[in-house]
Amino acid sequence: MEKEIINKCESIMEEMGLSALDDKRKQEIMDKMVGLVCDRIILKLMGRISDVEVDEANEIMASGDEDRQLEFLRIKMPDFNEILDEEINAVKAEILKDL
């Protein structure tokens, strides 16, 4: 766990009133949140892949060619950090709602 996503999760912990939790429990919750954020980011990425690109995307992702995968992701998601921010904030807001 580290940096951007983790820093944000940490501050969320505080916002959620969970800073007094022990590290293990915090880690469990953070892991769940990270998993959720990851899935949501991938869903966003999927939304940016047009129908005509699906075959190409499938082929690239199955190819094992890391450079191509990187290039594909970079082109599709040059604003990764903004997306990350958005998704983390969305997850946070949804968790905090009527908690």
Partner 1 sequence: MENKNESKIWEKDEVLSKESKKTESPKTFETNDDNLEKAKEIGNEEKQETMGKEVNEGKIETKEFDQLIEDVDRFNKSFEISKTEKPKIFDRFKGLLSKKETADQRDYEKLSQDISKRVFEYGKVNPDILNNDSIKEFLEKAKEIANERADRVDKKIEGLNKQTAEEIEKVNKERPGLFDKISERFNKNGLEIVIALGLLAMLAAMPREALLDKIASGDVGMQINTLLSQLNLPQIHSFLPAKYANLALIASTAAVLRVAKSDFLTRNIKKYFGSNDSKEEVTQEEEKSKEAEGFDVSSREEVVKKKDTDESFNQVAGSAEHQETFKKYQEGELDSKENEKPDDNDINESFNQVAGSAEYQEAFKKYQEGELDDEENEKPDDNDINESFNQVAGSAEYQEAFKKYQEGELDDEKMEINKEELEMLNILKEMITKGEKVEVKYKKGLDWEFGWYVTDIKEEKGKRPSVSLKRFQGSDAKYINVDLSKIELAKKKY
Check residue 81 for interaction with partner 1 (CB under 8 A).
yes
Check residue 6 for interaction with partner 1 (CB under 8 A).
yes
Check residue 57 for interaction with partner 1 (CB under 8 A).
yes
State the nearest-atom distance from the C-beta of 42 to partner 1, in Å: 5
**Rounded to the nearest 5°, which phi and psi values hold at 21?**
-65, 155
State the nearest-atom distance from the C-beta of 87 to partner 1, in Å: 11
Specify whether the CB–CB gap between 45 and 37 falls below 8 A.
Answer: no
**Rounded to the nearest 5°, which phi and psi values hold at 79?**
-105, 40
State the nearest-atom distance from the C-beta of 14 to partner 1, in Å: 7
Four-residue CA torsion sign, 60, 1, 13, 83? negative
The contact pattern for partner 1, residues 7-46, with x = CB under 8 A and - = no contact, is xx-xx--x-xxxxxxxx-xx--x--xxxxxxxxxxxx-xx
